[in-house]
Amino acid sequence: MTGATHCVATEGEEHRLDDAPRTITVMLVDDHDLVLESIRRALSAEPDMTVVATVASVHAALDAARSEQPDVVVMDYLLPDGTGAEGTTKLLAENPHVQVVMLTGQSSGATLADALEAGCSGFVAKEGRFDNLVHAIRSAAAGEIYVPQQLVEELAAHLRPRPPTLGADLTERELEVLRLLGRGASTDEIVDELNISVHTVRNHIRNILSKLNARSRLEAVTVATRIGVLGAATSGNGGR
């Protein structure tokens, strides 16, 4: 995995995520043995991660998730018995606490929108750097979002149509939180910026998701971009 990427979960917040003391349990889903083994070995070298399962299909992922209860699932998009988006929908229906990061060589806007609407928390291109995957996993485990920044507007263009009144009932404070999410702010950064508690930030984010009919922060940002709540310049700054 080579090459750089800029992400909604920006480099400026990675130090906060990297400081998390708990171990993140990870399940890998890919039908290529070499890819699975390479990623498993690399992630096992990270001090805050443990790979609890490696499987090669959607069906096997569902079985393993039931027994292992991972924090984060790294899911390939093309699998023998369905797409990673289909797998994500089924997995989250049974395990709503799990976060899914899509690892894919199919990085078109339409493909990523499909995965986004299934509930993924982030996307990593297979041709990208391994560090991007590590950061995406940490971001997902912390409840943050991670996506190539240049794809946010492209994702928005491929989302299913939303009612024109969607988001009309967002409060001023919720709009402030949403704009900060759109710039790549983490929960901690929103707390600092608005001088409110973590609990209050999480309540605002829950309300935003409900009012935008979104399953994740990432989908909320892309939906808000599509309907004009967020301008083109608010989708992140690629690190600060």
Closest residue by Cα to residue 32 from 15, 11, 8, 56: 56
Q: What is the dihedral of CA 104, 105, 110, 111, to 10 degrees?
A: -40
* Spans of all domains in the chain: 11-152, 156-234
Average pLDDT of the residues of the chain? 81
Adjacent-strand bridge partners of 49: 24
Q: What is the pLDDT of residues 68-98, one digit of tens each?
A: 999 999 999 999 999 999 999 999 999 988 9
- pTM more than 0.85: no
Q: How far is CA 196 from CA 177, 181, 190, in A?
A: 11, 15, 8
Burial of 228 per CB tally in 10 Å (0-12, 13-18, 19+): exposed
Per-residue model confidence (pLDDT) at position 5: 37
Select the CATH number that applies to the domain covering 156-234 from these four: 3.90.1150.10, 1.10.10.10, 3.30.450.20, 3.30.390.10. Answer: 1.10.10.10
Per-residue model confidence (pLDDT) at position 155: 67
Q: What is the pLDDT of residues 5-20, one digit of tens each?
A: 334 443 334 444 444 4
Angle at 59 between CA 55 and CA 63, to 5 degrees: 75
Alpha-carbon gap, residue 48 to 24, rounded angstroms: 6
Q: How far is CA 22 from CA 17, 146, 226, in A?
A: 11, 20, 36
Q: Do domains 11-152 and 156-234 have the same CATH topology?
A: no
**Mean per-residue pLDDT pooled into runs of 10, the chain (240 residues):** 41 42 91 93 95 97 96 95 93 92 78 81 85 91 76 65 79 93 84 93 92 82 79 37
Q: How far is CA 218 from CA 9, 54, 147, 213, in A?
A: 10, 26, 8, 12
Tokens 């991972």 found at = 70
What are all long-range contacts of 158-165, with beta carbons under 8 Å and residues at least 24 apart? 158/109, 158/110, 158/112, 158/113, 158/114, 159/113, 159/116, 159/117, 159/219, 159/222, 159/223, 159/226, 160/117, 162/212, 162/213, 162/223, 162/226, 162/227, 164/227
The two tokens of residue 237 are 């700054």
Per-residue model confidence (pLDDT) at position 112: 77
Radius of gyration of the chain (CA): 17
Per-residue model confidence (pLDDT) at position 157: 65
Per-residue model confidence (pLDDT) at position 147: 74
Per-residue model confidence (pLDDT) at position 236: 37
Per-residue model confidence (pLDDT) at position 201: 93
11-152 has which CATH code?
3.40.50.2300
The two tokens of residue 224 are 């808000």
